[in-house]
Amino acid sequence: MFDENSVLVAVDMQNDFITGALGTPRARIILERVCELAATFPGDVVYTLDTHDRDYLSTYEGTQLPIEHCIKGTQGWRVPDRLMKVLSERRAHAFEKSTFASISLADALRDRHAKRPISAVELVGLCTDICVVSCALLLRATIPEVPLAVDASCCAGSDPQGHSAALKTMKSCQVLIRNADR
């Protein structure tokens, strides 16, 4: 399914979602899998960075999720060193976003697809039930003819129930769910 014309999107693989303020045991488990996939993926690799300012708690999101995280420039905002090494070696482009999905990522992939067709997009990362599902559905709307997949073994939700619910939602929106049993 994936070839040199495919794109891997690593969503929000940042310290605060792995070992920090919003970290989970599963997020720590998938880190190595994401590193391996990013290193061996045959196509281009891009990634998103959840990016907030110091006024996060006064934003709408901050009133709904009052846990400071991914404040730009902090250790929690950064990508773990071992994954950053792979992303740098792959010359992966970063897309900062202040909300759940990245409009600039969707625009970039739409523009790229118009110039050089994308054969498929695979999404991995954190959190399955917030940013991964949001990015997947935005991409589904932006590049509707491009096959989308999510490698469930390289995703973690805010909790197991949220992870499962997001996978079900994406599947019903014609996103192929791979490795759901891992």
- Per DSSP, helices labelled H in the chain are 15-18, 25-40, 60-64, 81-89, 103-115, 133-142, 160-172
The structure's pTM equals: 0.97
Q: Is residue 19 part of a domain?
A: yes
| pLDDT surpassing 90 at residue 182 | no
110 part of a folded domain: yes
pLDDT tens for each residue of 77-110: 999 999 999 999 999 999 999 999 999 999 999 9
Per-residue pLDDT at 181 exceeds 90: no
Per the structure, the complete domain to which residue 29 belongs is given by 7-178
**Residue 16 falls within a domain, yes or no?**
yes
Q: Helices 133-142 and 103-115 sit at what angle, rounded to 10 degrees? A: 40
The answer on pLDDT for 118 being more than 90 is: yes
Domain assignment present for residue 1? The answer is: no
Question: Could you tell me the two tokens for 32?
Answer: 């190595």
Given this model, what pLDDT does residue 87 score?
99
**What share of the chain in percent tops pLDDT 70?**
100
According to DSSP, residue 71 is labeled B
Average pLDDT of span 128-135: 98
Report the domain count for the chain: 1
pLDDT digits (tens, 9 = 90+) for 21-51: 999 999 999 999 999 999 999 999 999 999 9
- Spatial CB neighbours of 162, under 8 Å, sequence gap ≥ 6: 127, 128, 129, 130
* pLDDT over 90 percentage in the chain: 98
**25 is a domain residue:** yes
Closest CA to 70 of 46, 94, 97: 97
pLDDT confidence band for 1 (50 / 70 / 90): confident
User: Where residue 167 sits, what CATH number does that domain have?
Assistant: 3.40.50.850
Determine, yes or no, domain membership for 77.
yes
Instruction: Give domain status of residue 100, yes or no.
Output: yes
Domain assignment of residue 46, yes or no: yes
Name residue 46's amino acid: V
